[in-house]
Amino acid sequence: MMSTLFDPVQAGSLKLANRIVMAPLTRNRAPGAIPTPLMQTYYRQRASAGLIITEATAISHQGQGYADVPGIWSPEQVTAWKKITDAVHANGGKIVVQLWHVGRVSHTDLQPGNQAPVAPSAITAKTKTVLIRGGVPAFVETSAPRALRPDELPGIVDNYRHAARCAIEAGFDGVEVHGANGYLLDQFLRSGSNQRVDAYGGSIENRARLLVEVTQAVAQEIGGGRTGLRLSPVTPANDASDSNPQPLFDHVARALGPLQLAYLHVIEGATGGARDHVQGSTPFDYQAMRAQYRAAGGTGAWMVNNGYDRELAQASLSQDADLVAFGRLFIANPDLPRRLREDAPLNDPDRATFYGGAEKGYTDYPALAA
């Protein structure tokens, strides 16, 4: 039987009412890294998604890379997030928090003691980040990073473990490890940003080591069935590059198989851009990666993302996907599942209000009349 976007599905321990996922979306509305009451309204409005994945959320001060993004490492943050998870649950939704360490995609202004950001290797990312200067958001070049010492890596794994524990205390249904888009774990994966000569660099196995250790630690802490992982095999986002992504991500998929994760969340192509983006010499074969995952015992749901609309989502569900994540459509349509079901017109997202600001372009998109 062909499943539809509106059929329930089990993803690990997560019992989801439908297959429509709200993708993680950075919105820069959490000054001091503390979630706000306005964020509660925003997520509550979107509780009809089968699953909400929060905006990327820092696991530590060192993991911060942008102005006014939230964190999940302190008691104050846990208390603030609890109000949000309660609001989503009261409206029948499920919500996981995306655990984030930006690595080199940061700026000294955002780091503890204004120190250099950390990375697998001391190679500056050719990308920008956002600072608030004089109350106004400004795009600035990322700062030159320093290479992490091998003895610092267990501490970073512990930071992920601690954040996962905080997530459960805050009432989240689980977590998603952010392994995508050129941030710390992706920087370790890819040859363009990882020139280490220790056990965390060089071979594919070594470059994948930190991602696998982190995912394993989180799964151990809260259960694999409450742990998801996001990957972006060919994205050029944040200066991510690899000369040969297929064997790298096939290996990652095999290594994840035994962890019994809730889901794998795969960005197809360039994040927020071309779905057929190529990195390396041949188009990436996502079916092959999925086959490797299944062959290694992976039972998690397969979540696809990037530029999906109603038609493409339904086609993907009838082939290989279990869940479809929607980003920009969820920014502009708080009641997206209903609109997809009724094939109703969609509100258009306003780019000018994606990052920073208040209600405008955040909690003021209208739902359909009851």
Query: Rule CB under 6 A: which residues touch ligand 8OZ?
Result: 26, 56, 66, 181, 237, 271
Rama region for 327: left / alpha / beta (φ>0; ψ in -120 to 50; rest): alpha
Residue 299 in tokens: 């039972």
Nearer to ligand 8OZ, 182 or 334 (CB): 182
Nearer to ligand 8OZ, 9 or 229 (CB): 229
Q: Are 47 and 16 in contact (CB under 8 A)?
A: no
Smallest separation (angstroms) from ligand 8OZ to the CB of 153: 22
Nearer to ligand 8OZ, 106 or 271 (CB): 271
Interatomic CA distance for residues 38 and 48, integer angstroms: 18
Residue 73 in tokens: 């490492």
Where do runs of H (alpha helix) occur along 237-335?
Answer: 245-256, 286-295, 310-319, 328-332
Smallest separation (angstroms) from ligand 8OZ to the CB of 297: 28
Interatomic CA distance for residues 273 and 121, integer angstroms: 27
Which residues have C-beta within 8 Å of that of residue 101, sequence separation ≥ 6? 58, 59, 60, 62, 63, 156, 159, 160, 178, 183, 184, 185
Q: Of all residues in the chain, what percent are helix, strand and coil, respectively (each to 5)?
A: 35, 15, 45
Interatomic CA distance for residues 287 and 108, integer angstroms: 40
Task: Please identify which of the residues 183, 200, 308, 365 carries the catalytic annotation.
Answer: 183
Q: Which of 219, 142, 232, 124 is nearest to 178 (CA)?
A: 232
The residue written with tokens 């502009």 in the block is 332
Q: How many CB atoms lie within 10 A of CB 192?
A: 18
Nearer to ligand 8OZ, 95 or 317 (CB): 95
Interatomic CA distance for residues 307 and 14, integer angstroms: 25
Nearer to ligand 8OZ, 274 or 344 (CB): 274
Interatomic CA distance for residues 285 and 250, integer angstroms: 10
Nearer to ligand 8OZ, 70 or 337 (CB): 70
The verdict on whether 42 is a catalytic residue reads no
Nearer to ligand 8OZ, 101 or 226 (CB): 101
Smallest separation (angstroms) from ligand 8OZ to the CB of 227: 18
Smallest separation (angstroms) from ligand 8OZ to the CB of 17: 26
Interatomic CA distance for residues 289 and 360, integer angstroms: 40
Smallest separation (angstroms) from ligand 8OZ to the CB of 234: 14
Terminal-residue alpha carbon distance, the chain: 32
Smallest separation (angstroms) from ligand 8OZ to the CB of 230: 8
Q: Are 193 and 140 in contact (CB under 8 A)?
A: no
Q: Are 231 and 264 in contact (CB under 8 A)?
A: yes
Smallest separation (angstroms) from ligand 8OZ to the CB of 2: 31
H/E stretch holding 55 reads strand 51-58
Residues involved in catalysis? 183
